[in-house]
């Protein structure tokens, strides 16, 4: 099978490369924005015409949450229009699509786990444009898997784990927000689930939630990073209001993973266990 991976220079694509080693029956095409501009419908159509693709994994996204508040047009072009263009091309060539979305589609006011059927009411441009991308896929394609995930990190690229470790090299103390609750997700675990879906050639299409198991605040996540990495940096909890940002974040965005676990018969690691693996692999 031939698999197109957009956003080919990002951390999730790097994790797909890691977990696909040795799977010689899978052939991957990794593209960045120069190879394939997903915001250009004609370019996408021509790319699909010139390449015999079986699956498309869309890892391309505008993810600068704060910058999106003022860079609305570009965020929408990538997250909404890009998703639509891929969906249309997939439909025309009978290609199955795996698309990555986010817990930021929720407003964070729930006190219980968010399911796939719960109302989506984003409180920022990033979440809004990602939700618009979901709708664009659902309106134009039947053979799709939309995977909402949260707080992605890995050994690759820039992410919260690597930022904390970098800061710990020079700062004896750090203050981290403790009243935003979600679940850290090891991108390698998400990549493995994607390949499971592809290897099974699944037709259980639809919207799914995937993150690691467990619940944490950003403070909890930072504290665990320093504890497992055995750094001397001390971390202190602060409220969101003490660290203002241009974009609001959901206060609670823990997702229910029952659907994906039952549908694909998978076991999801706890976030602390996966964090240990990621830190060991650095």
Q: Which residues are catalytic?
A: 126
The residues facing 37 across adjacent strands are none
Spell 187-221 as b/e; 16+ CB within 10 A means b. Answer: bbbbbbbbbebbeeeeeeeebbbbbbbbebbbbbb
The residues facing 255 across adjacent strands are 114
Residue 202 dihedral angles phi and psi, to the nearest 5°? -65, 145
Burial zone of 142 (CB within 10 Å; 0-12 exposed, 13-18 middle, 19+ buried)? middle
CA dist list (Å): 213 to 1, 120, 234, 270, 272: 31, 21, 25, 4, 9
130, 149 in Cβ contact below 8 A?
A: no
Between CA 59 and CA 82 the distance in angstroms is 11
Neighbours of 131 (CB within 10 A): 21
Handedness of CA 15, 177, 243, 122 (dihedral sign): positive
């Amino acid at each position: 099978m031939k698999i197109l991976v957009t956003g080919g220079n990002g951390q999730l694509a790097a994790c797909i490369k890691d977990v696909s080693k040795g799977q010689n029956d899978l052939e991957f095409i990794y593209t960045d924005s120069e190879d394939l501009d997903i915001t250009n419908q004609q370019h996408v159509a021509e790319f699909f015409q010139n390449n015999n693709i079986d699956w498309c994994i869309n890892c391309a996204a505008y993810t600068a949450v704060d910058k999106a508040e003022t860079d609305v047009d570009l965020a929408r072009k990538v997250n909404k229009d890009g998703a639509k263009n891929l969906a249309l091309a997939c439909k025309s060539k009978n290609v199955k699509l795996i698309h990555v979305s986010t817990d930021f589609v929720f407003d964070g006011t729930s006190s219980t786990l968010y399911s796939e059927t719960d109302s989506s009411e984003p409180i920022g441009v990033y979440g809004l444009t990602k939700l618009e991308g979901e709708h664009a896929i659902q309106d134009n394609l039947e053979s799709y898997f939309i995977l909402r995930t949260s707080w992605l990190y890995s050994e690759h690229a820039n992410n919260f784990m690597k930022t904390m470790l970098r800061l710990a090299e020079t700062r004896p103390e750090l203050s981290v927000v403790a009243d935003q609750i979600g679940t850290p997700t090891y991108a390698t675990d998400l990549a493995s689930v994607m390949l499971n879906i592809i290897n099974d050639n699944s037709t259980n299409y639809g919207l799914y939630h995937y993150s690691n198991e467990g619940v944490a605040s950003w403070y909890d996540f930072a504290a665990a990073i320093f504890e497992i990495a055995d750094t001397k940096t001390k971390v202190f909890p602060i409220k969101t209001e003490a660290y203002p940002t241009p974009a609001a974040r959901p206060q609670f965005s823990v997702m229910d993973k029952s659907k994906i676990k039952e549908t694909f018969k998978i076991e999801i690691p706890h976030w602390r266990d996966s964090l240990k693996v990621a830190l060991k692999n650095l």
